[in-house]
Chain A
Amino acid sequence: MRTRLRYFTSGLISENLVLVLMIGLCPALATSITARDGVGMGIAASFVLIASNIVISAIRKLIPDQVRIPVYITVISTFVTIVDYVMHAYQPALYRALGVFVPLIVVNCGILGRAEAFAKNHGVFDSFLDGLGKGLGFILVLFVMGAIREILGKGTLFGSPVMPLGFRSLPVLFMVFPPGGFLLIGIFKALIVKFVEKPS
């Protein structure tokens, strides 16, 4: 039971996809301009991660070893297409904001990486837990980055004002532009190195 719990909790901080494994950086930086975009992207990628983990671990004994990568890509791109169309239909504003990054979930190395490193040789329930943990860790990072960038760069959070009017009329625009994302993730990574990875 404890190992099962570990599959889930390790994804949150100690094996966080973005901050520790340095995977899936592109969506993490590009879509964390506002908290809403960040969470939307996080949920979309997590859905694909969990669903593909479940399917791949369910069919893992049927896949010949030589063609496993194309099979994984087929499964992942199926779920990406589902997310693409569902988001286009029900969340058109979010879909426009995320743009090309929705179909690009298919080359998010995090998802293929979990299929190869975990779902390939674990059961369905364990793979589900692993996907859930890694997915939640991904959402967490995107939400925190999106919230910080939105509060500093626009003075709002989820679109509603949180900073005084004076700040909102002259916000730290730097944060919503690309350099702000690089700066923020650099600081986060330094904190992770200091407190989680501990340099030798």
Chain B
Amino acid sequence: MSLGKIFIAAFLVNNILLMRYIGLCPFFGVSTAIDTAMGMSAAVFFVMILAAWVTWFLYHFILLPFNLVFLRTAVFIFVIASLVQFVEIFLKKSMRTLYSALGIYLPLITTNCAILAVTFLNIDYHHSFLQATVFAVGTAFGFALVIVLFAAIRERLDLAPISKSFKGYPIAFISASLVALAFLGFLGLFGLSL
């Protein structure tokens, strides 16, 4: 598959939140205000690309040659957890402004399944290094697009007159359903399917 197609597939057609249902916990957790949604997207963008690179090298140069593929689940989660810690320390020491913007979101990312899913999907799809990078970038953009869009919707929902039992999560789910319905319209774009 060409790089452009991989990008569009990861960004819109197979959007990680709405079409694949991965990373929903942060999606519903931090999409209550646009500021927090932007901070979370930036942190995800940063870690997702780093994680895709590191796990790609680990998988192709260590796990595959030494027949250790069965360890990939354990290895990947540890690598991502320590990577997040490392990034946090590095930012704290050398880039204070970026750290103060992303700081609180970084620890949350360890348990963000979107990051781990991208690393697994890169293996399942047999992506080359360049394809893996494009896939990670596209996925991170897709995550950011949906979470920021949705934060704007939820800010309006807070003011809307909704029956008591639908307040909060239930109406957020139903709005997500309608946004996902709109995203179904991207199906078939450049011949891409679910």
Contact = CB atoms under 8 A, between A and B. Distances in A.
Interface stretch (A20-28, A52-60, A130-138, A151-159): A20-28
Most chain A CB atoms below 10 A, which of B72, B77, B116:
B77
B81 to A, nearest CB: 7
Interface string B79-123: 001000000000000000000000000000001110011001100
B60 interface: no
Interface in B103-153: 111-113, 116-117, 120-121, 124
B25 A26 contact: yes
Interface string A153-197: 000000000000000000000100111111101110111011000
A106 B73 contact: yes
Given A25-B28, A182-B177, A186-B170, A193 B165 contact: yes
B156 interface: no
B176 interface: yes
16 contacts: A25-B24, A25-B25, A26-B23, A30-B21, A73-B77, A81-B73, A81-B74, A104-B116, A104-B120, A106-B77, A178-B20, A179-B180, A181-B177, A182-B176, A185-B173, A193-B165
A22 B169 contact: yes
B166 A190 contact: yes
Contacts of B20: 30, 178
A199 interface: yes
A112 B116 CA distance: 16
B32 to A, nearest CB: 14
B116 A106 contact: yes
Interface of B: 18-25, 28, 70-74, 77-78, 81, 111-113, 116-117, 120-121, 124, 164-174, 176-178, 180-181, 183-184, 194
Interface residues of A, number: 41
Contacts of B178: 179
Contacts of B24: 25-26, 29
Given A99-B124, A103-B120, A182-B174, A109 B111 contact: yes
Contacts of A180: 177
Contacts, number: 121
B21 A187 contact: no
Interface of A: 22-23, 25-26, 29-30, 70, 73-74, 77-78, 80-81, 84-85, 99-100, 103-104, 106-109, 112, 174, 177-183, 185-187, 189-191, 193-194, 199
A104 B28 CA distance: 18
